[in-house]
Amino acid sequence: MSVLIDKFDVFAGGFWLTLQICFLAAIGALILGAVVAVLRISPVPPLRALGTAYVTVFRNLPLTVVMFFAAFGLPALGSNANFLRIPGLDAVFSRLGTDLPYFRFALIALSLYTAAFVCEALRSGVNAVPPGQAEAARSLGLTFGQNLRYVVLPQSWKASIVPLGSVIIAMIKNSALVGFFGVIGDLSQTADQLTSAGGYAFIPVAIGISVGYLIMTVPLGALLDRIEKRQAVAR
Amino acid sequence: MRFKRVAAVAAAATLALGMAACGGDDSDEGTGAGSKSFAAGSTMERLNKAQKIKVGTKFDQPGFGQKGLSGKPEGFDVEIAKIIVKELGIPEDKIEYVETPSKVREDVIVNGTVDLVAATYTINDKRKERIAFAGPYYEAGQNIMVRKDDTSITGPDSFKDGTKKVCSVTGSTPIEEIKKYVKDVATQVVPFDTYDKCRDALKSGQVDAVTTDNVILLGYIAKDEASFKMAGDNFTKEPYGIGVKKEDTDFRNFINDVLEKAMQDGRWKKAWDDTAGKFGATLGDAPTINRY
């Protein structure tokens, strides 16, 4: 078990990178997922079809395949995902601005994939709001946007928050794949580095990275439980 | 009377010798339980009695251990394992091959999942803390593969200025080695789970080089000489050994004896020519067995 102490800096570095990836991918997935959810519940049929097509594709493909397309398909199309080199943001998340595109590719893949699940979590929340609410809002003359913003979303939020949290927790665990698609030094790639090249026994290293993932996921789960309890009172 | 008895003994002896000689042409000569005598209680005796052995090797390493259409892995590692197994008095078809990717090699030896590992297994001190190595039976070395038209990379020192990007397999020894040469790991080193992906990234220009053991790179160059070439000479020494249990010194010595014998009588070279040698990789001189 001495590897946990001897190589603490390696674990910590891996933890930090995974946290960065998850933080950025979660933001991307939440924004994109919300957009897709709006598409799927919009009154315009072509937009609904677009949203449904998105969810059908990205929810049903394995993440590895999505990662593969991001890492090898985008370069083939001539893109290095440079639009993600957001000034200011790349000062905090240094990997975002490097010449090496794989961090950005991984973010794109994780965000696209997770957005499909975010969309469905949001939509299930919207579906939980009694239809009478939206009908009443419409009869008051609210537009589709106003209807969502002032009537439906504030109520659907309560029903969405827990499944949404599960989606993000799943995404954190899914991020373990990025080390196999060109991103060096994330938490699970750290395990590879220590066990295979470093020659450390697998089990202590696996325990080390498990602790790393648990530090990210358990507080998130606890937070969700709290929010859920609060809302139970508010209802 | 006396003469008769001597003649009878002589005749019997001749007969016995003749029968022993008859077995010489059989390819499975000297296999079977009790066909060879080993020290009581040794691993060799146990394996010989059991008439089966589990060998860990790679299933995805061209030229060394690759599982093809035949359903059995083929390559230099596999041939070396066969030589050892035969000396144990066990026929080839009694070998059970277990896939041992780089990550699990120490663990399968320690846990006893396999009896020996021959899987492009570089001998190093860190690994010797958990297992023991017989050999080396081959000395590979890390090298760099670049695009054919690239003249800017001439060796590992070309990565020191911080602009060139290099790809290797996650968790491998070569990726740790090249980290010593690069200026910034985060912007220059790209890990993938397979070398195929590295090759594709090199071809499409996302990275400037792929680094790993020369024999692996030679396999890729042999398949696509128009696109790739080697940049310079090997810059490390990677002696490949046979992994066995750390405390099993008898078995290790036995394998060392077998390897030494095979290097002298040509079986070692033949194993190479039939496998990795086909890719144009050179075998070099027989490495000196390290009996530590």
User: Highest mean pLDDT: which of A94-108, B209-223, B243-257?
Assistant: B243-257
Of B27 and A85, the structure prediction assigns the larger pLDDT to A85
Read off the pLDDT band of B11 (50, 70, 90). Answer: low
Distance of CA B284 to the CA centre of its chain: 15
Residue A173 scores a pLDDT above 90: yes
CB contact under 8 A, B126 and A183: no
B126, B159, B188, B206: best mutation site toward chain A, by most A Cβ within 10 Å?
B206
**Interstrand relation of B142-147 and B228-230 (parallel, antiparallel or unpaired):** antiparallel
The yes-or-no answer to whether B43-140+238-279 and B142-230 have a common fold is yes
Task: List, for residues A70-91, the tens digit of each pLDDT value.
Answer: 999 988 888 888 888 887 787 7
Distant-in-sequence contacts of A176-179, Cβ < 8 A, 24+ apart: A176/A18, A176/A213, A177/A63, A177/A64, A177/A67, A178/A21, A178/A67, A178/A106, A178/A110, A179/B170, A179/B191
Read off the pLDDT band of B280 (50, 70, 90). Answer: low
* Contact B205/A at CB under 8 A: yes
* Contact B193/A at CB under 8 A: yes
Going by C-alpha positions, the residue among B279, B248, B285 that lies closest to residue B264 is: B285
Residue B123, classified by CB atoms within 10 Å of its CB into exposed (0-12), middle (13-18) or buried (19+), is: buried
Domain ranges of chain A: 3-127+146-234
Going by C-alpha positions, the residue among A133, A116, A113, A12 that lies closest to residue A64 is: A113
**Which residues in chain B have their CB less than 8 angstroms from residue A99's CB?**
165, 187
Q: What is the pLDDT of residue A33?
A: 95
In chain A, the residue whose alpha carbon lies closest to the alpha carbon of B110 is A201
CB atoms within 10 A of CB A45: 8
In chain A, the residue whose alpha carbon lies closest to the alpha carbon of B207 is A100
Read off the pLDDT band of A207 (50, 70, 90). Answer: very high
Q: If you search the block for the tokens 């309560």, which residue do you land on? A: A158
The nearest CA of chain B is from the CA of A184 a distance in Å of 6
Residue B19 scores a pLDDT above 50: no
- Please name the member of B104, B170, B186 whose beta carbon is closest to the beta carbon of A189: B170
Residue B138 scores a pLDDT above 50: yes
**Which residues in chain B have their CB less than 8 angstroms from residue A18's CB?**
none
Task: List, for residues B169-190, the tens digit of each pLDDT value.
Answer: 888 888 988 999 999 888 899 9
* Contact B192/A at CB under 8 A: yes
Give the pLDDT mean for B234-247.
91
Going A123 to A126 to A132 to A138, the CA torsion angle's sign is: negative
* Contact B201/A at CB under 8 A: yes
* Contact B197/A at CB under 8 A: yes
Say what percent of chain B tops pLDDT 70.
89
Q: What is the pLDDT of residue B223?
A: 78
Summary mean pLDDT of chain A: 89
> A with B: how many residue pairs have Cβ under 8 Å apart?
87
Class of domain A3-127+146-234: mainly alpha
Least confident of A50-54, A117-121, A154-158, B242-246: A154-158
- 3-class DSSP string for chain B: CHHHHHHHHHHHHHHHHHHHHHHHHCCCCCCCCCCCCCCCCCHHHHHHHHCCEEEEECCEECCCEEECCCCCEECHHHHHHHHHHHHCCCCHHHEEEEECCHHHHHHHHHHCCCCEECCCCECCHHHHCCEEEEEEEEEECEEEEEECCCCCCCCHHHHCCCCCCEEEECCCHHHHHHHCCCCCHHHHEEEECCHHHHHHHHHCCCCCEEEEEHHHHHHHHHHCCCCEEECCCCCCCEEEEEEEECCCHHHHHHHHHHHHHHHHHCHHHHHHHHCHHHHCCCCCCCCCCCCC
Query: Which residues sit opposite B166 in a β-bridge?
Result: B189, B209
Give the pLDDT mean for B158-178.
88
Domain ranges of chain B: 43-140+238-279, 142-230
Q: What is the pLDDT of residue A232?
A: 66
Sequence-distant (6+) residues with CB within 8 A of A58 are: A66, A112, A113, A115, A116
Tokens, residue A136: 């009443």
- Please name the member of B103, B165, B191 whose beta carbon is closest to the beta carbon of A179: B191
Q: A156 with A129: CB under 8 angstroms?
A: yes
Kindly provide the ipTM of the predicted complex, given to two decimals. Answer: 0.73
Please give the CATH architecture assigned to the domain spanning B43-140+238-279: 3-Layer(aba) Sandwich (3.40)
A196, A200, A205, A209: best mutation site toward chain B, by most B Cβ within 10 Å?
A196
CB atoms within 10 A of CB A61: 16
Residue B250 scores a pLDDT above 50: yes
In chain A, the residue whose alpha carbon lies closest to the alpha carbon of B192 is A180
**Which residues in chain A have their CB less than 8 angstroms from residue B113's CB?**
none
Task: List, for residues B203-225, the tens digit of each pLDDT value.
Answer: 988 899 999 988 888 878 877 88
In chain B, the residue whose alpha carbon lies closest to the alpha carbon of A97 is B187
- What is B142-230's CATH topology? D-Maltodextrin-Binding Protein; domain 2 (3.40.190)
CB contact under 8 A, A180 and B205: no
CB contact under 8 A, B171 and A192: yes
Read off the pLDDT band of B244 (50, 70, 90). Answer: very high
Q: What is the pLDDT of residue B21?
A: 45
Tokens, residue A86: 């957001």
**Which residues in chain B have their CB less than 8 angstroms from residue A96's CB?**
none
HSE of B106, CA atoms in CB hemisphere, 13 A: 23
Q: If you search the block for the tokens 């081959």, which residue do you land on? A: B138
Give the separation between CA A187 and CA A176, rounded to whole angstroms: 7
Residue A64, classified by CB atoms within 10 Å of its CB into exposed (0-12), middle (13-18) or buried (19+), is: middle
The nearest CA of chain A is from the CA of B38 a distance in Å of 33
Q: What is the pLDDT of residue A201?
A: 82
Query: Which residues sit opposite B239 in a β-bridge?
Result: B139
